[in-house]
């Protein structure tokens, strides 16, 4: 199977999915559903890139390592980054502990998969409006939201 288009090394899809999985794991270390679900999702996305014939295994492996490493690096630097931001904008110290908070794991994982499926459907649609549409899902400990955007 051959897919038209230019794809590069490393896989951006694998990198992005492992950034999400690693970030969620570091943010919610005591939630096994989030950890297992997000890494399962990241693995399926990565394997899908090889299945569709758009990346070699080495592309996916390096993309996964870059994504996981980037997320771990930024997470480890979060305290100095927040301190520098507070110093730059003369903001008072706040409790910026990112390891607290609850998330509804099943709702989050289902919404993540649904938004990815819908975005895939949109790109394959014959409708010009749908091709230029994108659904984003964001979640916090206080609310889950869906965002819809359309570009010209």
Residue ranges of domains in the chain: 8-101, 102-152
Q: In this predicted model, what pLDDT tens digit does every residue of 127-148 receive, in sequence order?
A: 776 667 776 666 555 555 555 5
Count Cβ atoms below 10 Å from residue 54 Cβ, excluding itself. Answer: 19
Greater model confidence, 28 or 92: 28
pLDDT tens string 16-60: 899 989 998 998 888 888 899 899 999 998 998 888 888 889 999
Our CA angle for 142, 148, 149, nearest 5°, is 130
Q: Is it the case that residue 9 has pLDDT exceeding 50?
A: yes
Q: Which residues pair with 145 in a beta bridge?
A: 138
d(CA 11, CA 14): 5
Q: How much is the pTM?
A: 0.61
Question: How far is residue 131's CA from residue 140's CA, in Å, rounded to a whole number?
Answer: 28
Contacts of residue 137, defined as CB under 8 A and 6 or more positions apart, other chains included, come to 111, 112, 114, 115, 144, 145, 146, 147
């Amino acid at each position: 199977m051959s897919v038209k288009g230019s794809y590069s090394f490393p896989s951006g899809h694998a990198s992005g999915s492992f950034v999400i999985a690693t970030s969620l794991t570091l943010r919610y270390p005591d939630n096994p559903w989030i950890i297992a679900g997000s890494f399962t999702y990241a693995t399926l996305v990565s394997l899908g890139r090889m299945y569709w014939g758009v990346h070699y295994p080495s592309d996916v492996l390096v993309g996964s390592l870059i994504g996981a490493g980037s997320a771990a690096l930024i997470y480890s630097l979060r305290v100095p980054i927040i301190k520098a931001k507070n110093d730059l904008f003369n903001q008072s110290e706040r409790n910026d502990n990112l390891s607290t908070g609850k998330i509804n794991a099943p709702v989050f994982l289902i919404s993540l998969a649904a938004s990815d499926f819908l975005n895939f459907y949109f790109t394959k649609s014959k409708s010009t409006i749908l091709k230029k549409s994108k659904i984003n899902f964001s979640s916090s400990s206080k609310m889950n939201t869906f965002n819809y955007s359309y570009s010209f």
